[in-house]
């Protein structure tokens, strides 16, 4: 039963992430540094929803890793 609930939860999260990405398809460009001497670093354009989902997943992953290291 626990196995079924886990996969339902994963399916629900995947569906919510997919819906978020589908509803926010406007391309955006994330600038990582301010312009200094005409040079700046940025990520390639990607849909806003994908940027939000990736930021959330990377944040959870970093939090998990730091918690595991500092424990």
Q: Is 56 left (phi over 0), alpha (psi -120 to 50) or beta?
A: alpha
| Contacts made by residues 2-8, CB under 8 angstroms, sequence distance 24+ | none
pTM of the shown model: 0.77
Tens of pLDDT, residue by residue over 20-35, are: 999 999 999 988 888 8
Report domain extents, the chain.
Answer: 2-70
Residue pair 56/16 in contact by the 8 Å Cβ criterion: no
Question: Which residue stretches of the chain have pLDDT < 50?
Answer: none
């Amino acid at each position: 039963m626990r196995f079924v609930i886990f996969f339902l939860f994963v399916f629900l999260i995947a569906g919510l992430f997919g819906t978020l990405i589908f509803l926010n398809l406007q391309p955006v460009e994330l600038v990582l540094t301010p312009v200094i001497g005409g040079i700046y670093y940025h990520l390639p354009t990607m849909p806003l929803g994908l940027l939000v989902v990736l930021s959330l997943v990377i944040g959870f992953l970093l939090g998990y890793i730091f918690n595991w290291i500092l424990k």
